[in-house]
A and B are shown apart, each in its own frame.
Chain A
Amino acid sequence: MQDEPTPIELTKAVADFLRNDITPLISGHQAFKLRVAINILDLVTRQLTQEEGCDAKEVERLRAQLGMDGSVADLNRALADRIAKGEIDLATPGLAEHLWATTMDKLAVDQPNYASYKRELGRGG
């Protein structure tokens, strides 16, 4: 077991430093790059916070849908294959709900301010 602070806390500390202390000192193209860098650190923080819980739920849904076990990557590959072969489609019970839940969890990490995501969140997640 590693010591603390946790990666989440460390990443957040760097992002806050760049945001609060460095941003006022920089302009032009470098300021744009700095904003991108801060966005990356914020994304990483969200992923470190949310990934474990989301992946566990995703694996649970995928096991039920596919009737098999494996890592989240293996199970996604298997689902992709079955959709490609036409064995599973939107008429298959549970598929649309699974894809919606998985996609909403991704957007929560990648782009929580994306307008389509916010609209769908308003429908109850």
Chain B
Amino acid sequence: MIEPQLGRIVSSWHAGAFGVANSKRLSGGASQETWSFDIMHPDGLAGAILRRAPQGYGAAPTRAAGLAAEAKLMQLAFEAGVPSPRVLYVLRPEDDLGTGFIMERVEGETIARKILRDAKFARARPKLARQLGEVLAGLHRLPLSKLPELRSRSATQEIGEFERDYRSLNWPKPVFELALRWLRDHDPGPSAETTLVHGDFRNGNLIIGADGVRAVLDWELAHLGDPMEDLGWVCVNSWRFGEIDKPVGGFGTREELFAGYEAAGRRVDPVRVKFWEVMGTLRWGIMCGGMMQRFREGPDHSMERAMIGRRASETEIDLLRLLAPRGS
């Protein structure tokens, strides 16, 4: 349990608090946990979220920015007016909770299918594609000088990295080879501008309320690079959850996304966005292969992970729809 440890430190970041209650584990694998809990205060309960890597799981995978960077980015985003939870506390070694941070719990929905289908989001849905453009514009404008240390990746480096990941799986897939060739042939070169890239900005990693976007979550893949990467990733078909004619997360059109982005004072390069959508589709396919490998070699021998391995074929059909479409 985490309540005794949290109870000991809660008053240091929430004045007057005398304990915590209602803690429950939300999600995550063995190396990263998300907990929801309530801060007990004479004025009432306040919702909070703990993101942490338990002791012994400190080493982040190579692509991850790390929890400390994540906390810093969320706080910067919050201060800049990008929808984001306020970070309350960063864990210290003596807290006996591992590494991570505590943030305010933002009420709303993260499950993509509910956001796309439930009546309570009906008013928000038509506005979301444009709103996501505005949010991304704000995120890409966060000052580089204030960012934590992050890996930097150009399109060319990313292609090379994905190719290495794919080859290491020893999982010959003609459609993936075709996509790798296409990416090399269409590599747009270095972007005119390097910005913060969220890296996993998509339906499923956003808290949505009846009024629209309330928070951007899951910053662990944040890096420096081509801002168009985020616009391409949010359009990857797997994140449309069945609403395949609405490229932006199943919510709306690319034109709406681009309009929101440009209205907030930034420029869109649609050719680069398309490149990153193809790259993103392949990226998700290779990630599915990684899940298969982790299932096979342990430590996560779960059915869910096994079944994600079988989702690689969805990226194959989507790559074919992008690269070799068949009439209409």
Q: Which residues of A contact B (CB under 8 A)?
A: 33, 36-37, 39-40, 43, 76-77, 79-81, 83-84, 86, 89-90, 96, 99-100, 102-104, 106-107, 110-111, 114-117, 119-120, 123
Q: In the complex, A90 Cα to B179 Cα: how many Å?
A: 11
Question: Per a CB cutoff under 8 Å, which of B172, B173, B313, B326 touches A100?
Answer: B326
Q: A83 — which chain B residues lie within 8 A by C-beta? A: 174, 177-178, 181
Q: In the complex, A106 Cα to B303 Cα: how many Å?
A: 19
Q: In the complex, A90 Cα to B177 Cα: how many Å?
A: 11
* A17 smallest CB distance to B (angstroms): 17
Q: A79 — which chain B residues lie within 8 A by C-beta? A: 172, 174
Q: A111 — which chain B residues lie within 8 A by C-beta? A: 310-311, 313-314
Query: Provided the pairs A80-B174, A103-B320 are in contact, do residues A110 and B313 lie with their beta carbons within 8 angstroms?
Result: yes
**Cβ-defined contact, A120 with B174, below 8 A:** no
Cross-chain pairs A/B with CB under 8 angstroms, 22 sampled = A43-B310, A76-B174, A79-B172, A83-B181, A84-B181, A89-B178, A100-B320, A100-B324, A103-B175, A103-B320, A107-B313, A107-B314, A107-B317, A110-B310, A111-B310, A114-B314, A115-B240, A115-B243, A116-B237, A116-B318, A117-B317, A119-B244
**Cβ-defined contact, B326 with A77, below 8 A:** no
Contacts A107-B314, A120-B321, A123-B327 supplied; 6 other A-B pairs, CB < 8 Å: A37-B303, A79-B172, A83-B174, A100-B326, A106-B316, A115-B242
Question: Per a CB cutoff under 8 Å, which of A99, A110, A119 touches B314?
Answer: A110
Query: Provided the pairs A83-B177, A116-B321 are in contact, do residues A76 and B314 lie with their beta carbons within 8 angstroms?
Result: no
Candidate in B177, B303, B304, B306 with the most chain A CB atoms within 10 angstroms: B177
**Cβ-defined contact, A36 with B304, below 8 A:** yes
* B177 smallest CB distance to A (angstroms): 4
Secondary structure of the B contact surface, majority rule: helix
Secondary structure of the A contact surface, majority rule: helix
Q: A102 — which chain B residues lie within 8 A by C-beta? A: 174
Report B243-281 CB contacts with A as 1/0, cut-off 8 Å.
Answer: 110000000000000000000000000000000000000
Report B157-173 CB contacts with A as 1/0, cut-off 8 Å.
Answer: 00000000000000011
Q: Which residues of B contact A (CB under 8 A)?
A: 172-178, 180-181, 237, 240, 242-244, 303-304, 306-307, 310-311, 313-314, 316-318, 320-321, 323-324, 326-327
Q: In the complex, A39 Cα to B307 Cα: how many Å?
A: 9
Q: In the complex, A99 Cα to B317 Cα: how many Å?
A: 9
Q: In the complex, A104 Cα to B320 Cα: how many Å?
A: 11
Q: B174 — which chain A residues lie within 8 A by C-beta? A: 76, 79-80, 83, 99, 102
Q: In the complex, A67 Cα to B152 Cα: how many Å?
A: 44
Q: In the complex, A120 Cα to B324 Cα: how many Å?
A: 12
**Cβ-defined contact, A120 with B172, below 8 A:** no
Q: B181 — which chain A residues lie within 8 A by C-beta? A: 83-84, 86, 89
**Cβ-defined contact, B317 with A114, below 8 A:** yes
Q: Which 10 A-B pairs give the minimum distances between C-beta atoms?
A: A80-B172, A83-B177, A106-B313, A77-B172, A115-B242, A96-B324, A115-B244, A110-B313, A79-B174, A36-B303
Q: B320 — which chain A residues lie within 8 A by C-beta? A: 96, 99-100, 103
Q: A120 — which chain B residues lie within 8 A by C-beta? A: 317, 321, 326
Closest to A74 in B: B172
Q: In the complex, A76 Cα to B177 Cα: how many Å?
A: 11
